[in-house]
Amino acid sequence: MSLINLRNLTVSYRGYLAVHQVSGAFEAGSLTAIVGPNGAGKSSLLGAIAGQLVPAEGEVALASGLRQRMAWLPQQTLVDRSVPLEVADLVALGTWAKTGSTRAVTSALQSRVDAALDAVGLAGLQRRLIVELSAGQLQRALFARVLVQDAQVILLDEPFNAIDARTTADLLALVARWHAQARTVIAVLHDLDQVRANFSRTLLLARRCIAWGPTAEVLDAEHLLKARRMAECWGADAPLRKEAA
Ligand SMILES: Nc1ncnc2c1ncn2[C@@H]1O[C@H](COP(=O)(O)OP(=O)(O)OP(=O)(O)O)[C@@H](O)[C@H]1O
């Protein structure tokens, strides 16, 4: 069953195209990596699925009630670490989309937060300020936030960027657990070996969709060359061009 349908999805910034006419579906329970060169539109595509960006054309059609059952983990650089927030509060924030920000942290929620922190290896760090965490610890805390959300669809934007190997392995194990629980996981990633080893499906993007399907078929030499050639056309610092429809 398709949960998320992209129909001719186009995302642009001030008229310049970042994602152009992408169509396809994410099935329930699928585990998909979105890969492509820098500037290929991967984060923009994920942002549109998360409802953070409004399509310039086309649409992201979601199964009924899915918007409330979606967790989105943005790139760590977008997390404001200067906010004086304790780890437990950051994790509890995961439930606020459903329960409202004025809801008190009940003992049941506190137990869920503690269990989530335990699951990501941060037991005992509840009262630590997020500014005091290492990059790896912060990423573990953000995964704990996703855990308490109990989401059906989990969107991860470069979740292992600048994260040490041990943390990456632990968090990849969590992704595998979510997949085993039939949750739908979509992750923007750069490491193709990591994708081949851990993600059964891949969407290769170069503003347009180059290929989308089983990872081994998508990540073949021909597709990768095509994506690279398209990226070379953009030029390293060239502004986005409006493509002819
Ligand atoms: N907020 C924004 N305003 C203007 N342009 C943007 C904005 N966000 C992204 N872009 C542009 O849209 C294009 C696609 O960006 P996006 O971040 O989606 O690509 P990406 O594939 O995730 O890149 P990377 O691998 O480098 O993170 C880029 O050329 C980028 O400069």
For the chain, list the domains and their CATH numbers. 2-234 (3.40.50.300)
Which whole number is the average pLDDT over 124-130?
94
- Distance, in Å, from the CA atom of 55 to the CA atom of 48, rounded to the nearest integer, reads 7
Interface ipTM > 0.95: yes
Instruction: Please give the span between the terminal C-alpha atoms of the chain, in angstroms, as a whole number.
Output: 30
For residues 198-224, average pLDDT: 97
Mind giving me the DSSP string for 168-198?
Answer: HHHHHHHHHHHHHTT-EEEEE---HHHHHHH
Residue 83: predicted pLDDT: 82
pLDDT 10s digits, 52-109: 999 999 999 999 999 999 999 988 777 777 788 999 999 998 776 555 555 566 788 8
pTM: 0.91
Percent of the chain scoring above 90 in pLDDT: 77
- Where does residue 34 fall: left (phi above 0), alpha (psi -120 to 50 degrees), or beta otherwise? beta
Q: How confident is the model at residue 152 (pLDDT cuts 50, 70, 90)?
A: very high
Supply the residue whose CA is at minimum distance from atom 2 of ligand 1: 13
Whole-number Å distance, alpha carbon 109 to ligand 1 midpoint, is: 36
Q: Is 53 helix (H, G, I), strand (E, B) or coil?
A: coil
State yes or no: pLDDT of 236 exceeds 50.
Answer: no
pLDDT at 239: 47
Farthest CA pair distance, the chain: 57
Mean pLDDT (the chain) is 90
Calpha distance 203→32 (Å, rounded): 7
Q: What is the pLDDT of residue 114?
A: 95
Residue 235 has pLDDT above 80, yes or no: no
H helix runs in 27-125, sequence order = 42-49, 87-92, 96-99, 107-119
At residue 51, the 3 state secondary structure works out as coil
Higher-confidence position of 241 and 168: 168
User: Rg of the Cα trace of the chain?
Assistant: 18
Predicted local distance difference test score (pLDDT) of residue 99: 58
The answer to whether the CB of 44 is under 6 A from ligand 1 is yes
CB 141 within 8 A of CB 170: no
* Alpha carbon distance 180, 174 (integer Å): 10
Q: 10 has which bridge partners? A: 57
3-state secondary structure of 153: strand
Strand, coil or helix: 54? coil
Ligand 1 within 6 A of CB of 58: no
Least confident stretch, 97-101, 106-110, 136-140, 159-163: 97-101
* Rounded average pLDDT over 162-179: 94
More confident residue, 241 or 214: 214
User: Tokens standing for 130?
Assistant: 């997020």
**pLDDT band at 238, cuts 50/70/90?**
very low
Instruction: Please choose, from the candidates 24, 5, 76, the residue with its C-alpha nearest in 3D space to the C-alpha of residue 203.
Output: 24
| Structure confidence at residue 101 (pLDDT) | 53
Among protein residues, the one with the nearest Cα to ligand 1's atom 6 is 13
Residue 244, pLDDT > 70, answer no
Higher pLDDT residue, 161 or 222? 222
Task: For residue 115, give Cα distances in angstroms to 36, 89, 120, 159.
Answer: 35, 14, 9, 21
Rounded distance from Cα 240 to ligand 1 centre (Å)? 10
Question: How far is ligand 1, taken at its centre, from the CA of residue 221, in Å?
Answer: 25
